[in-house]
Structure 1
Amino acid sequence: MTVINKEMLKKILEDVIHLRRQLHRYPELSGEEYETSKVIQSKLTEFGINFKTGYAKTGVLGIIKGSRPGGTVALRADIDALPIQERNQVSFRSQNDGIMHACGHDAHAAMLVGTGYLLNEIKEQLPGTVLLLFQPAEENSPVGGAKPMMEDGVFSHYPPDVIFGQHVWPDLPVGEIGIREGAIMGNSDKFKIKIKGSGGHASMPHQTIDAIIAANQVITALQTIVSRNVDPLDPIVLTIGKIEGGYRHNVIADQVVLEGTVRTFTNDARSQAKERLYSIVHHTVHAMGAEAEVGYFEGYPATINTPKWAQHIKDTAQHVLGEKGTPEVNPSLGGEDFSRFLEKIPGAFFWLGTQIEEKEKQMPLHDPRFQLNERALSIGVELMAQIAVDALFTLERGKKEENENRATTI
């Protein structure tokens, strides 16, 4: 079995860190990753890795062909940033106002470039093909970038047998990963509710229908979906993240807009939450004499790991990191566009521990002070490369066994 060379890993690590910081310094929003894409293409060219472009506008597909025929393994990294103003004071802090890599996609892209370098250096030993997917617009739910890449034919010439992805995870220390069979991340839907009342003077509420009071009742009532409608063993989180309404202190508002998200693991809970949200909103505002318009937008489906390939990641990780490197983890109700790849292709998604040493100062993903421990980058590169290598040989063995069984049957 081919094992990733540690010296080769050390050789590329400085490039990976430099690339991660370069991408962090100049982040770009979903669908606007033009310079990010150019930087990635430049590094692939430098490392002698063939690639194609034009997928979902800014997506890139690196192609590494082994010395002999075999299966096809796809590795994915997302490349877009978030509309967040960075509050860190690091030397490579964002130079693009109001935009930040607060979800680690800079690290994902840099690690995949490093992974590509390692695999390209040993391609003569590999049976089959490895695809490097640099995916835009992961943060742009519900559209995303995975589906547009597939619609643009990213897999037309090289249909993958299996696909893998990783995500930096500040809840896990460096040297550990999170992997599990089945659901690892949830359905992520969003909604927008426009409540219409009748405005007036603050001293004469009897002449109005107060949209803010109606909105208050709706916000409270919606939480009964979680506490009273859905099986408590089938988790759901409903969050109101944005409220807009009112004009000034002495004016009763005639309109309020609420925006929020619903997170679930199962399709049953997802359907039930959606149905109850419509019913609760309309009945509640009707009781207050108001009206409502509800928009409900189904986002990314749950990220469901194929059991075989989740175990594959666990086995490889234990070989690289040791038995303690794969602790038991609970799933997250965060959404992930990688789920759309898994709807079409077997594979698995895992979390890479990136907790900084001063644990009490560790901010979560999407926080303007989010930081990751760069010591984890070498682990992410080695692990992704070894996962791909092991998968190619697993696919090769599976094909041989299939042919032997067929020959025996004949």
Structure 2
Amino acid sequence: MKYILFLTAFVLLISCQQKPLTQEQLNKELASQSLAMEEDLIALRRDLHQYPELAGEETRTAKTIAEHLKESGLEVHENIGGYGVVGILKTDKPGKHIAWRADIDALATDFEDPVAFKSVHDGVRHICGHDVHTTIGLGIARNLSQLKEQLAGTYYFVFQPAEENITGAKAMLDEDLMELINPDEFYAAHITPFPAGVIATKPKELYAHYKEVSLTLNTTDSEDIRFVSSKMNDLSNVSNPEFGTDASFEDPVTGIAGSNTMYQDYTLLETSIYPNSENDQTVLRGYYSFSDQNQLDTFKKNLQNMIDESPLDQVVIDHNIKPVSYVLQNDPDVTAQSVKILMNYYPESVVELSGVFPGGRSDDFALFLEKVPGTYFFLGGSNFEQNKISMPHAPIFEVDESVIQKAVERFSVLMTARAQTE
């Protein structure tokens, strides 16, 4: 009888231990683990910051990434598209395949690094936050690996080289990245000047379509050049002098997250029109931002009409619209579902953007989003009280390192929740 009671108790104990965690229970574990590893992650970030490597030269960075992924028990693949590294975490339960991208390269710059753990390489610095991105990716991988038995699905961690010269994503794809991984959804985040821990995004375009527009004239006459230049200026529909300023981005009503944002439905001439005259011809060149494809299509029609329905048809002998950067498009459905999950658990830290950033900003993560539906997030890294402003590429760039733990926790929650959805 005692043996039967003992056996019954043992079976009940085992069954209780094997009972899967609810998402809320899992979230608590992910939060607790991310807090426990915060000190180690900050140390890792500082190590990466001290040893930055330019695009195409990320040897030490890639080795560090591979070592940490192996320590976390992931399957590791190296030297993909240069020094790209992929970590794969497979669970025993069915679920979606979820991928996370972190870029790993640094920039050439002579700006003085304001931190004590500054770069040991003269003229090279992590001034765009890729050391933070790398640390967050490794933190999420470690966080999920420690709860592998409770998770569903498969997780891919893609550490991409050469983002700064926009060659790394293509190089990884050219070396059959998508045959190695098979994600249903793809995510990434980039440090921005929002307060540390704030997550912001929107469906479709985050960055404007950025194009070089050139017209070739069969003349070098200064009056003709001025006339055509003025017509090219007229194709812009932005007249507000505050458009594009930091203050206008932050405006609670008309800013990038405002309910009546000025950063929709725009065609903006970003530069002066540059003339270049040679051999009795002149090429006029300008750079435009378009908030969406509709604005670009309208511009093309207006440009053609401008040429056809004016004296310009005798002057303009050729015109061309050339892309300057990749167009990053968040999947509307995946983005809506992701924002819903994050808003449910972290309502005070999620910002739903309504506008599109002009100015030629972009990220070659766009190429991954052309293959797989997903979402690119802006991640705040600033602490204004401590005068830490995480504006990428700015001389004063500095990050509040509390964002690392916050991001590891929140994106771990997002990835595990998405892996369990149908």
TM-score by length of 2: 0.73
Q: What secondary structure does 1:388 align onto?
A: helix
Out of 123, 126, 137, the residue aligned to residue 148 of structure 2 is: 123
Q: What secondary structure does 1:155 align onto?
A: helix
- Say whether 1:224 aligns with 2:248: no
How many equivalent residue pairs? 371
Identify if the C-alpha distance between structure 1 residues 113 and 327 changes in structure 2 by more than 3 Å, giving closer, same or farther: same
Q: Is contact 2:197-2:380 (8 Å) kept?
A: yes
Out of 19, 23, 40, the residue aligned to residue 65 of structure 2 is: 40
Aligned to 2:250: none
Aligned to 1:302: 328
Identify if the C-alpha distance between structure 1 residues 130 and 92 changes in structure 2 by more than 3 Å, giving closer, same or farther: same
Aligned residues with identical type, % of pairs: 29
Offset from partner CA, 1:94-142 (integer Å, 9 cap, x none): 333333322222111110001100011111112221000111222324x
The alpha-carbon deviation at position 167 of structure 1 amounts to 1.6
* TM alignment of 1:47-86, pairs within 5 A: 47-86=72-111
Identify if the C-alpha distance between structure 1 residues 50 and 332 changes in structure 2 by more than 3 Å, giving closer, same or farther: same
- Say whether 1:173 aligns with 2:195: yes
- Say whether 1:372 aligns with 2:399: yes
* TM alignment of 1:110-259, pairs within 5 A: 110-141=135-166, 144-170=167-193, 172-180=194-202, 182-191=203-212, 222-227=232-237, 234-240=265-271
Aligned to 1:11: 36
Q: Is contact 2:49-2:126 (8 Å) kept?
A: yes
Aligned to 1:201: none
Out of 287, 291, 304, the residue aligned to residue 265 of structure 1 is: 291
Q: Is contact 2:216-2:283 (8 Å) kept?
A: yes
Q: What secondary structure does 1:20 align onto?
A: helix
Offset from partner CA, 1:34-76 (integer Å, 9 cap, x none): 3322221122223332211232212111100112333211111
Q: Is contact 2:41-2:404 (8 Å) kept?
A: yes
* Paired letter, 2:322: Y
Q: How far apart, in 2, do the equivalents of 1:218 and 1:29 lie?
A: 42
Q: How far apart, in 1, do the equivalents of 2:51 and 2:217 lie?
A: 42
* TM alignment of 1:370-409, pairs within 5 A: 370-394=397-421, 398=422
RMSD, matched Cα: 4.0
The alpha-carbon deviation at position 363 of structure 1 amounts to 5.9
Offset from partner CA, 1:125-179 (integer Å, 9 cap, x none): 12221000111222324xx322332232112143111111112221x22343213
Aligned to 2:389: 362
* Paired letter, 1:267: Q
Moved more, 61-70 or 106-115: 61-70
Q: What secondary structure does 2:70 align onto?
A: helix
Identify if the C-alpha distance between structure 1 residues 303 and 96 changes in structure 2 by more than 3 Å, giving closer, same or farther: farther
Aligned to 1:326: 350
Q: What secondary structure does 2:107 align onto?
A: coil
Q: Is contact 1:135-1:146 (8 Å) kept?
A: yes
The alpha-carbon deviation at position 220 of structure 1 amounts to 6.0
Q: Is contact 2:127-2:392 (8 Å) kept?
A: yes
Q: How far apart, in 1, do the equivalents of 2:318 and 2:78 lie?
A: 44
Q: How far apart, in 2, do the equivalents of 1:329 and 1:115 lie?
A: 25
* TM alignment of 1:99-110, pairs within 5 A: 99-110=124-135
Q: Is contact 1:72-1:159 (8 Å) kept?
A: yes
The alpha-carbon deviation at position 356 of structure 1 amounts to 1.5
Q: What secondary structure does 2:60 align onto?
A: helix
Structure 1 residue ranges without an equivalent (≥5): 199-207, 246-253, 399-410
* Paired letter, 2:371: K
Q: How far apart, in 2, do the equivalents of 1:28 and 1:295 lie?
A: 34
* Paired letter, 2:212: F
* Paired letter, 2:183: P
The alpha-carbon deviation at position 21 of structure 1 amounts to 2.1
Q: What secondary structure does 1:327 align onto?
A: strand
TM-score by length of 1: 0.75
Identify if the C-alpha distance between structure 1 residues 196 and 137 changes in structure 2 by more than 3 Å, giving closer, same or farther: farther
* Paired letter, 1:381: V
Q: How far apart, in 1, do the equivalents of 2:317 and 2:59 lie?
A: 43
Q: How far apart, in 1, do the equivalents of 2:274 and 2:386 lie?
A: 33
Q: What secondary structure does 1:111 align onto?
A: helix
Q: How far apart, in 1, do the equivalents of 2:169 and 2:270 lie?
A: 25
Q: How far apart, in 2, do the equivalents of 1:363 and 1:216 lie?
A: 41
Aligned to 2:254: none
Q: Is contact 2:191-2:390 (8 Å) kept?
A: no
Structure 2 residue ranges without an equivalent (≥5): 1-21, 240-261
Q: How far apart, in 2, do the equivalents of 1:130 and 1:156 lie?
A: 15
* Paired letter, 1:155: M
Q: Is contact 1:179-1:350 (8 Å) kept?
A: yes
